[in-house]
Amino acid sequence: MAAVFLAATAATLQAEVALVPEKVAPLVADRQDFLPPDLVSLSGWVGRRIEVNEANRLVQLDTDRLLEGYRKRPGRQSYDGEHVGKWLHAATLAWVYTGDPALRKKLDFVAAELVKCQLPDGYLGTYLDKDRWTDWDVWAHKYNLIGLITYVRFTGNLEPLPACCRMADLLCSTFGDAPGKRDLIRAGHHVGLAPTSVLEPMVLLYRLTGERRYLEFCEYILRAWEQPNGPKIISTLLTAKRVDKVGNGKAYEMLSCLNGALEYYRTASDHRLLEACLNAWQDIVDNRLYLTGAASYGELFHDDFDLPNVDNVGETCVTVTWLQFNAQLLRLTGEARFADQLERVVLNQLMGAQKPDGSAWGYYVQMEGKKPYTSTLDGQCCLSSGPRGIALIPTFAVTTDPEGVVVNLYDTALARLSLHDGTPAAVDIEGAFPSDGHVRVRVDSTSRKPFMVKLRQPVWCTNTLVLVNGRVLEGPPVINGYLAITRSWHRHEVIELEFKLEPRVIVGDHLNEGKIALVYGPLVLAADEALLGFTNLSFKTVGVAEKPLPLLEFTPEPASNRFRTWPGAEVFRINGIVRRATGPLTAGERLPVRLVPFADAGATGGEYKVWLPVGLVATANLLFEAGESRSRKGNLYGSIADDDPSTLVTTFDGKPADEDWFALTLDEPATITRVVFMHGRTFHDGGWFDTSAGKPKVQAKSAADAAWETLGELADYPATTATDPAKLKGGEAFILKLPTPAKVLVLRVIGKPACGDNPKQAFSSCAELQAYKDK
Ligand SMILES: [Zn+2]
């Protein structure tokens, strides 16, 4: 079925694009088709991002830099070999989309030059002989296969295909569970998640060539996952149903494996793999997904709702593999819930990682801070991943299925499609979505037979008004989350959709207790320092006085020139509250605060944040923004003086210590009556104070040259030991009420750090240190 459709599609492509057919038809037919990118042209906000991805990034990349690790082994960095394959994948899709001859020329050159670097035995990694198969070279072969197979299929240039087979044959002859072969799990990192993710292109190469040994290698990978030293991907997802329990929880490599598992399921119809992947998806959506569609911090999946706003949050490689995972599930099931996640991750986290002009990308794109845009590749896996995500958008934005056509994204677009019976159908989407909720979809077909147009009913919109040729359509059927309209589509049939774009308040929980985030339709909004407009105000304190929407006076406004990244760009004014950065730390002031879509936040270089504190006026923490110091620098660099417990610090340096302290220094002495210490986080190897020899103490100096004076101890701090945190998890507050007011210039909490399960070291952590003067 799918093979027949691919052949039908190929006939409608322009002359230079002829999709090379696969020799093996998948056993599982897709419920929604993967569309060659030249059939859909997007021209709204998303379309602009696709355009600059090609023009300012993919065409601009230096080809010598992409190839240098292969031309002169070893590469300058351990996983430097992955970039060229990722570029070939993204640039091929981008070239199909635009037809740009300059990009095609570059593609032909890079594909040919890469093949020239292959060694006689088929090896195409960046390592020296002595270092083969121990680090990131199976991984690089994976990306070279993905890149070259994509290039071969879309350009019709079969020249690199024998090189792909030689790479695959080398993998087949080197790795396996037969005697004398090497263990693939040991050929790379993260409990084998990295090397075994070569599953995806091995399945694709099997389908393209029909060579059964490649399928047998895939079967070996599935066995290796479950062997004693393997990551136990499928068994864990079928039983525990939690991604943080798979292997070491490394998100990018795991999602890469799951994308391969779905490709295998499509090919060989092993239903356990689909079930395992659906369990993984549900677990991520329910417990491990950020509002913007980011899905990891520190590059790992963590415990339920353990989603700090900073701490290497939102690796772009994870964002892109999560997008691919949803696109795979959408193709296989035809269910809109996966398209809803695609909209969420594309409009927020993915576009938030891409610099609006397309020239640079961010590695970790967090819920607050500054956007870390860079345009080099050195040590930056994400900078070659981001462009792949953007280049994939036209493959699922508007597509076809056995019943007709499907609209997944509402960006302005023109799609020239072929129905499964070969009849042409055009879908023209007009409007200024997501700034305007009024979307016109014109369907145009010569088909005499009725067919179905499916329009995604967005999860954020409870009630969509639908008109067909100007008449309200009452209660259209909803199939798999799509409004389904079946009729004979004569020329210029127009469907109008009225999505109610409304602001919604998301009340923070877990690590965002006491904060809110604002969303508008599909957009996650963020405060942006550059929109504050007053230099004597502290961006850190920007928040809201109370959370009910009417009091926030939410108002969309056209963006000013500086923030107009596309013609429909908007900013969103709310009734906010800000505290002065200098002067007396008393009450906050009510001021209009403007928010921007997360995708554009921080684009002018300033700080941004998604989660806004509520009720700032009530707190008058005298140590707010005081000077910070601690006994050891540690490895987390949040703040203990920003009234934000989600940004923490540690003293971790891999060494033991008998004493740790966290201190704040004021400009002028202040009188205080109450001290609040907030625990940072409990790690397996420490992070808390060991109280077996006494509770943590609060000490103060009244002048710079004065001696430390003990004001008291944190009596409520639990009875911990060096190895037992006594149920401390993170963010707990411990209070010392002073019997008499004290004048302090410097205040600190001091105690003995704990070692957890690693007695060779010890460290502690702190989320906040605050002091108040109660009446
Ligand atoms: Zn990365």
Model confidence over 299-336: pLDDT tens digits? 999 999 999 999 999 999 999 999 999 999 999 999 99
Q: How far is the CA of 252 from the centre of ligand 1 (A)?
A: 7
pLDDT for 535 equals 59
State yes or no: pLDDT of 2 exceeds 80. Answer: no
Instruction: Return the pLDDT at 12.
Output: 37
* Average pLDDT of the residues in 702-706: 93
Q: Write down the pLDDT at residue 619.
A: 52
Record the tokens describing residue 378, joined without a space.
């050195």
Which percentage of the chain shows pLDDT scores above 90? Answer: 85
User: Picking from 213-227, 398-412, 527-541, 573-587, which range would have the lowest pLDDT averaged per residue?
Assistant: 573-587
Q: Which amino acid is at 476?
A: P
Task: Give distance in angstroms: CA of 337 to centre of ligand 1.
Answer: 26
CA of 385 to the centre of ligand 1 (A): 7
Q: What's the 408 CA to ligand 1 centre distance in angstroms?
A: 27
381 C-alpha vs ligand 1 centroid, how far in Å? 4
Q: How confident is the model at residue 445 (pLDDT cuts 50, 70, 90)?
A: very high
Q: What is the pLDDT of residue 548?
A: 87
Ligand 1 centroid to residue 363 C-alpha, Å: 6
Q: Average pLDDT of 5-33?
A: 71
Q: How far is the CA of 398 from the centre of ligand 1 (A)?
A: 28
Say which residue the tokens 């030689």 belong to: 166
Pairing relationship of beta strands 451-456 and 404-407 according to DSSP bridges: parallel
State the pLDDT at residue 16. 53
Interior CA angle at 640 toward 638 and 641, to 5°?
A: 115
Q: Which tens digits make up the pLDDT trace of 139-168? A: 999 999 999 999 999 999 999 999 999 999
Q: Using the mean position of ligand 1's atoms as its centre, give its distance from the Cα of residue 316 in Å.
A: 5
Q: How far is the CA of 164 from the centre of ligand 1 (A)?
A: 25
* Ligand 1 midpoint to CA 512 (Å): 25
Buried b (16+ CB within 10 A) or exposed e, 7-21: ebbbeebeeebebbe
Q: pTM for the whole thing?
A: 0.83
Tally: H helices and E strands in the chain: 18, 30
Give me ligand 1 centre to Cα 266, in Å.
27
Q: Is 730 helix (H, G, I), strand (E, B) or coil?
A: strand
Query: Out of 265-279, 341-355, 602-616, which region has the weakest mean confidence (pLDDT)?
Result: 602-616
> For position 616, what pLDDT does the model report?
59
Phi, psi of 42 (to 5 degrees): -100, 140
User: Could you tell me the distance, in angstroms and rounded to a whole number, from the CA of residue 19 to the centre of ligand 1?
Assistant: 30
State the distance from the centre of ligand 1 to the C-alpha of 319, rounded, in angstroms. Answer: 9
How far apart are the CA of 89 and the centre of ligand 1, in A? 16
Ligand 1 center–CA 143 separation, angstroms:
14
Nearest residue to 328 (alpha-carbon basis) of 284, 278, 288: 278
Residue 304: its pLDDT value, please?
95
pLDDT, residue 359, reads: 97
Report residue 642's pLDDT band, with 50, 70 and 90 as the boundaries.
Answer: confident
Contact 696, 717 (CB under 8 A): yes
What is the CA(500)–ligand 1 centre distance, in A?
36
Nearest to 28 by CA among 294, 222, 264: 264
Residue 432's pLDDT band (cuts 50, 70, 90): very high
What separation in Å is there between the alpha carbon of 178 and the centre of ligand 1?
A: 34
Tell how far the Cα of 312 is from the centroid of ligand 1, in angstroms: 11
State in Å: Cα 494 to ligand 1 middle.
43
Q: How far is the CA of 382 from the centre of ligand 1 (A)?
A: 4
pLDDT of 11 over the 70 cut: no
Rounded alpha-carbon distances, angstroms, from residue 644 to 127, 334, 472, 745: 45, 42, 49, 22
Output the CA 721–ligand 1 centroid distance in Å.
37
CA of 483 to the centre of ligand 1 (A): 37
pLDDT given for residue 13 in this prediction = 36
The better pLDDT of the pair 52, 514 is held by 52
The rounded Å distance from CA 318 to ligand 1 centre is 7
In the chain, % helix, strand, coil (3-state, to 5) comes to: 35, 25, 40
Query: What's the mean pLDDT in 656-677?
Result: 94
Rounded to the nearest whole angstrom, what is the distance from the C-alpha of residue 346 to the centroid of ligand 1? 17
Across residues 514-524, what is the average pLDDT?
96
Phi-psi group of 737: left, alpha or beta (phi > 0 → left; psi -120 to 50 → alpha; rest → beta): beta
Residue 386 Cα, ligand 1 centroid: separation in angstroms? 9
What's the DSSP call for residue 625? Answer: T
Q: Which residue has the tokens 């942006």?
A: 528
For the beta carbon of residue 505, count every other beta carbon within 10 angstroms: 17
Q: How far away, in angstroms, is 342 Cα from ligand 1 center?
A: 19
Q: Kindly give the distance from the C-alpha atom of residue 138 to the centroid of ligand 1, in angstroms, as a whole number.
A: 17
Q: Which residues on neighbouring strands pair with residue 297, listed in sequence order?
A: 300, 313
In this structure, the number of other CB atoms found within 10 A of the CB of residue 430 comes to 17
Ligand 1 centroid to Cα of residue 299, in Å, is 8
Distance 441 CA to ligand 1 centre (A): 37
369, 68 contact by CB (below 8 A)? no
Q: How far is the CA of 241 from the centre of ligand 1 (A)?
A: 25
Distance 234 CA to ligand 1 centre (A): 24
pLDDT for residue 652 is more than 80: yes
pLDDT of res. 589: 65
Residue 473: pLDDT over 70: yes
Distance 384 CA to ligand 1 centre (A): 8
Compute the distance from residue 294 Cα to the ligand 1 centre, in Å. 12
List the one residue out of 658, 645, 734, 731 whose CA is nearest residue 690: 658
DSSP 477-526: -EETTEEEEEE---TTEEEEEEE---EEEEE--GGGTTEEEEEETTEEEE
Q: Let me know the angle formed at the C-alpha of 522 by 520 and 528, rounded to the nearest 5 degrees.
A: 55
What is the rounded end-to-end Cα distance, in angstroms, of the chain?
77
pLDDT value of residue 617: 47
Give me the residues paired with residue 595 across strands.
527, 572
Cα R_g (the chain), whole angstroms = 28
Distances in Å between the Cα of 391 and the Cα atoms of 253, 350, 387, 753, 770 are: 20, 11, 6, 49, 48
The secondary structure of 447-467 as a DSSP string is: -SS-EEEEEE--TT-S-EEEE
Q: How far is the CA of 623 from the centre of ligand 1 (A)?
A: 37
Ligand 1 midpoint to CA 584 (Å): 43
What is the enclosing helix (H) or strand (E) of 440? strand 438-445
Mean pLDDT score of the chain: 93
* Confidence band for 534, pLDDT divided at 50, 70 and 90: low
Q: In angstroms, what is the span from residue 328 Cα to ligand 1's centroid?
A: 20
CA of 290 to the centre of ligand 1 (A): 17
Tokens of 529: 């320092």
Instruction: Tell me the per-residue pLDDT of 475-508, one tens digit each, with 9 for 90 and over.
Output: 899 999 999 999 988 777 899 999 999 999 999 9
Q: Sign (positive/negative) of CA torsion 330, 333, 338, 343?
A: positive
Whole-number Å distance, alpha carbon 610 to ligand 1 midpoint, is: 22
